C-alpha cells in the first residue's frame, strides 16, 4: 500500500495575483470555478437546441446541410452553435480535471484560470453564434481560452507531477 503525505504548506500559491490570495477559503473558489463549467454546458445545449428548431434540422442529424444553410440563415447559425458546443465538450473534461489537480497545490491560480477559461468560453460561444461574422469567425474573440487551458496543463504537469515522481 502506498501512502501519500501532503506537506503543511501544500496549496500555498505565492506566484499569481497576490491581491486575490486573501480568499477566506481558496478551495471554495476552485469549487465555484468548477461548478460554472457544467452551467455553461447547459447554456451551450440550450442555445444549440433553440437554433435546431429555428433551422428545421431534425434529429439525428448533427448539422444542417449546405443547401439548408443557403436557404435559411438560422441553419448556418445552428451549425455554428453546434460546433461551439462540440468544441466545448471536447475541452471541458480535461479542463475540469486540470482545475482539480492544479487546485491541490495552486488553488488560487487554478480558480482564477478556471474562471477566466469559463468567461472566455462564453465569449467563444457568443462570438461564434451571435457575431454575424461569416464562417463563425467571431469565435476568435474567445479563443484565448487556450492560454488559460495551457496554463492549467502546465500547473498540473510541472507543478504536481514532480511531487508524484519523488514518492
Task: Give DSSP secondary structure letters for 118-131.
Answer: HHHHHHHHHHHHHS
Task: Tell me which residue range forms the domain holding 136.
Answer: 73-166
Domain assignment present for 83: yes
The verdict on residue 95 lying in a domain is: yes
Alpha helices in the chain (DSSP H): 26-55, 66-71, 73-105, 107-130, 145-154, 161-165
Q: Is the peptide bond before 67 cis (omega within 30 degrees of 0)?
A: no
Rounded CA separation 140/137 (Å): 6
User: How does pLDDT run across 111-148, given as a tens digit for each residue?
Assistant: 999 999 999 999 999 988 888 777 767 777 888 899 99
d(CA 50, CA 117): 24
Cα gap 78→45, rounded to integer Å: 11
Q: What is the pTM of this model?
A: 0.78
The answer as to whether 52 is a domain residue is no
In a domain, 65, yes or no: no
- All residue ranges of the chain with pLDDT < 70 are 1-25, 136, 167
Asked if residue 156 is part of any domain, the answer here is yes
Burial of 90 (0-12, 13-18, 19+ CB in 10 A): exposed
In a domain, 7, yes or no: no
Residue 28 domain-assigned (yes or no): no
In-domain check, residue 50? no
SS3 for 52?
Answer: helix
Looking at residue 167, what DSSP letter applies? -
CA 81 to chain centre: 15
The total of structural domains in the chain comes to: 1
Amino acid at each position: 500500500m502506498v501512502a501519500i503525505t501532503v506537506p503543511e504548506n501544500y496549496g500555498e500559491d505565492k506566484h499569481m495575483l497576490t491581491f486575490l490570495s486573501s480568499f477566506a477559503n481558496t478551495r471554495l473558489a476552485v469549487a465555484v470555478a468548477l461548478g460554472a463549467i457544467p452551467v455553461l454546458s447547459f447554456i451551450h445545449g440550450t442555445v444549440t437546441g433553440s437554433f435546431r428548431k429555428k433551422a428545421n434540422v431534425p434529429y439525428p442529424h448533427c448539422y444542417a446541410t449546405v443547401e439548408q444553410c443557403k436557404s435559411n440563415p438560422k441553419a448556418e447559425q445552428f451549425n455554428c452553435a453546434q460546433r461551439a458546443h462540440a468544441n466545448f465538450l471536447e475541452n471541458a473534461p480535461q479542463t475540469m480535471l486540470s482545475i482539480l489537480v492544479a487546485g491541490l497545490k495552486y488553488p488560487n491560480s487554478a480558480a482564477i484560470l478556471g474562471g477566466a477559461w469559463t468567461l472566455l468560453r462564453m465569449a467563444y460561444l457568443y462570438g461564434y453564434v451571435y457575431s454575424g461574422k461569416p464562417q463563425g469567425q467571431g469565435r476568435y474573440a474567445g479563443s484565448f481560452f487556450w492560454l488559460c487551458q495551457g496554463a492549467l496543463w502546465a500547473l498540473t504537469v510541472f507543478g504536481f507531477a514532480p511531487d508524484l515522481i519523488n514518492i
